[in-house]
A = this chain, B = another copy of it.
Amino acid sequence: MSGISDVARMAGVSKSTASRALTGGGYVSEATRQRVLEAARHIGYVASTNAASLVTGRTKNVGVIIPFVNRWYFGEVLEGVEDALLACDYDLTLYNVRPGTPSRSRIFEHFLARKRFDGVITIGLDPSPDELDRLLSLDRPVVSLGAQYDGVSSVAIDDVAVSRLATEHLIGLGHTRIVHIGGERSADLTGTVHGRRLRGYLDAMTDAGLGAETLHVPSEMTLPGGYAAGVQVVSNLRSRPTAISAASDEVAVGAIVAARRTGVQVPAELSIVGVDGHEYAEMFSLTTVEQSPREQGVAVVELLMDALGGRQESTTALLHPTRLVVRSTTARPRT
């Protein structure tokens, strides 16, 4: 448990000089700096971030608020964020706010208030007005990924465009009976990811003159969710579509599994396209629009670092460059 005074004594300087040499602030002669560094290394000195925080107000820690850890997209983003944060010498404190759980409110009411971080990153968060209030009243920079609110810089995907692209791909192949799986029944078509993706589908259909053929089957944005919806879609032989536009890759994979269990070949008899660039896409012959969640994580950290580095006013939204790569395994409808 050696402190900075030990280092100072060993190097034959005062605490303040040692501090300057270690943190890089103020003037220190090169010779002295070396001596201090050497001493620190020798006794394995590591500054108590705690004590430093107390005086500087900066914690070298950021809070990450994330609704799910165990969904592919979120897990992937989290790993990207962690990596990028480490590179900047920041620790990451995890706040897992699963919607509707008691821990979610405890986090917003209690844990965030401790302000053990210099800034906050929210991943795909859909905050209630109250939650948003608390977030903003933290008086720390907040950046968000995949959602936009006033006063918060964000990295955003153009969900409408992305989903539209997926749907247009299907239309381009000649499909007309295309159903969309994902989102909630009466979602607003702007405020949520699945809502915007539903919108992209609707837009594409309408533009292609297929507005009347439109069908939306709601589902949770998970693999089991996609499975359940897929079972429903495929089992109804009368209305069975020739293609499915899924709101996410997990949903799409679930739908594929459902189709296969029912004996429907994918993509031969049924074409399915998703959004995200899931690493399992290949295995399931899934056509998908690539998004690289990992890169999104890195991008949002960069944005936060900007905010921490003074640029306080940047509450502008930044559109993440979407790589619109469609893997071409989808089939034309049988005529």
- A interface with B by C-beta (< 8 Å): 1, 44, 46-51, 53-54, 59, 61, 64, 69-70, 72, 75-76, 78-79, 82-83, 86-87, 91-94, 96, 98, 103, 106-107, 111, 113-116, 139, 223-224, 227, 254, 257, 260, 279-280, 283-284
Contacts and interface: CB of A to CB of B under 8 A. Distances in A.
A91 B111 contact: yes
Contacts of A72: 70
B93 A92 contact: yes
Given A61-B93, A70-B75, A93-B93, 16 more contacts: A1-B139, A46-B115, A49-B114, A61-B116, A64-B94, A69-B78, A69-B82, A70-B78, A70-B79, A79-B96, A79-B98, A86-B103, A86-B111, A91-B93, A223-B283, A224-B280
Contacts of A114: 46-49, 91
29 contacts: A46-B114, A47-B114, A48-B54, A49-B116, A50-B53, A50-B54, A50-B116, A51-B54, A54-B54, A61-B116, A69-B69, A69-B75, A69-B78, A69-B79, A70-B76, A75-B75, A79-B98, A83-B96, A83-B103, A86-B106, A91-B114, A92-B94, A93-B93, A94-B94, A223-B280, A223-B283, A224-B279, A227-B283, A257-B283
A110 to B, nearest CB: 8
Contacts of A283: 223-224, 227, 254, 257
Nearest to A282: B224
Contacts of A254: 283
Contacts of A260: 260
A116 B96 contact: no
A75 B260 CA distance: 27
Nearest to A76: B70
Q: Which of A69, A83, A223, A224 lies at the interface centre, i.e. has the most chain B CB atoms within 10 A of its CB?
A: A69
Nearest to A104: B86
Nearest to A293: B70
Contacts of A284: 257
A223 to B, nearest CB: 6
Q: Which of A44, A111, A254, A260 lies at the interface centre, i.e. has the most chain B CB atoms within 10 A of its CB?
A: A111
Contacts of A79: 69-70, 96, 98
A223 B72 CA distance: 12
A209 B283 CA distance: 36
A188 B139 CA distance: 52
B96 A94 contact: no
A304 to B, nearest CB: 16
Contacts of A49: 114, 116
A256 to B, nearest CB: 10
A115 B103 CA distance: 26
A250 to B, nearest CB: 10
